[in-house]
Amino acid sequence: MQQFIDAAPGIRLWTEPRGPVDAPPLLLVMGAQATGVGWPEPLVDALAAHHRVIRYDHRDTGRSTWSFEEQPYRIADLATDVIAVLDGLGIGRAHLVGMSLGGMLAQMVLADHPDRCLSATLIGTSTLSTTPYTRPDGRTVPAGELPGIAPEVLELWSRPVEDHGPAAEVARRIEHWRVLAGDQLPFDAEYFRALEHRVIAHTGHHRTSTAHGRAEHDGMLRTEQLATNEVPSLVICAPAEPVFPPPHPHHLAQCVRGARLVEIPGMGHALPPAVQGPLATAILAHTGAATG
């Protein structure tokens, strides 16, 4: 059942809890411009068999307040929204699972509010640390010199987002997913078409906000806090990742003290059916060990 949370003056966030009320809470934090509906139903159901799972819409996505044009905010404010969701639902501590930008927000919460975290799972993201990456041969690489975003992704992101109607918007999003999914698994266009139709039905319109790309990114580094982390943390390695390609996940696992690394074969920067089962298994093994 959906519930709205007042996260800040004039800001309401859509949330959807699922699973037993008395089960350990697990909060799903999606990526930039992505709604909570972007978390696949089978994955949510698999997690909800063991957890009280909460997914939510960021500001300027889905059914949450679209406010950036009148009330600009920083990316750091999206991290405070994570705590606001927990507070609004009366949750003291939760397992966090963050995807892409959501993985960065989870790192910020991990660093700033470790007392609110039962565990953290970081997917398709990059570290908020300036610590160099240590290669298997022992040599170090400055964090800023790790591989960048794939050219085909950058080219797609450089195109202006224009409104040519719902059908054209769905087609644009499918092409976006084709590039993000990587090249190691067959691309299922119909799966992503159905996903985007659900997102549009949930949101109530087909418009896409660019707010998260324009929000200030200052104040996000957490080098020291991540290096002294004590919260059980898992980093998911996606070998076909085009946004934060390996060794970004290996670097992240080095920066977050005590973090484990698990690879999901064929995974890119998307959650198609082929990766949902292995991902659920990895997350549940991690949260189960952390919960004790």
| Domains, the chain, with CATH or none | 3-148+209-291 (3.40.50.1820)
**Measuring CA to CA, how many Å separate 40 from each of 7, 37, 203?**
25, 7, 16
For residues 187 and 195, what is the distance between their CA atoms, to the nearest angstrom? 14
For the chain, what percent of residues have pLDDT higher than 70? 100
Nearest partner of 49 among 289, 292, 226, 280, judged by Cα: 280
- At residue 123, the pLDDT reads 98
Sign of the torsion formed by the C-alpha atoms of 181, 187, 188 and 189: positive
pLDDT in tens, 208-233: 899 999 999 999 999 999 999 999 99
For residues 233 and 96, what is the distance between their CA atoms, to the nearest angstrom? 9
Burial of 27-54, coded b for 16+ CB within 10 Å and e otherwise, reads: bbbbbbbbbbbbbbeebbebbbebbbbb
- At residue 15, the pLDDT reads 98
For residues 131 and 25, what is the distance between their CA atoms, to the nearest angstrom? 31
- At residue 1, the pLDDT reads 83
Does residue 163 register a pLDDT over 90? no
Average pLDDT, the chain: 96
For the chain, what percent of residues have pLDDT higher than 90? 95
pLDDT in tens, 32-46: 999 999 999 999 999
- At residue 190, the pLDDT reads 98
pLDDT in tens, 93-145: 999 999 999 999 999 999 999 999 999 999 999 999 999 999 999 999 999 99
Three-state secondary structure string covering 89-112? CCCCCEEEEEECHHHHHHHHHHHH
Helix H or strand E encompassing 46: helix 41-48
Does residue 292 register a pLDDT over 70? no
In this prediction, residues 263-282 reach a mean pLDDT of 98
Confidence of residue 291 (pLDDT cuts 50, 70, 90): confident
- At residue 138, the pLDDT reads 94
Confidence of residue 160 (pLDDT cuts 50, 70, 90): confident
Is-above-0.85 flag for pTM?
yes
In this prediction, residues 239-243 reach a mean pLDDT of 98
- At residue 181, the pLDDT reads 97
DSSP result, 178-206: HHHT-SSS---HHHHHHHHHHHHHHHTS-
In this prediction, residues 198-215 reach a mean pLDDT of 94
3-state SS assignment for residue 174: helix
Gyration radius (Cα) of the chain, Å: 18
In this prediction, residues 5-25 reach a mean pLDDT of 96
Cα 83 to its chain centre, rounded Å, is: 15
- At residue 164, the pLDDT reads 85
Does residue 162 register a pLDDT over 90? no
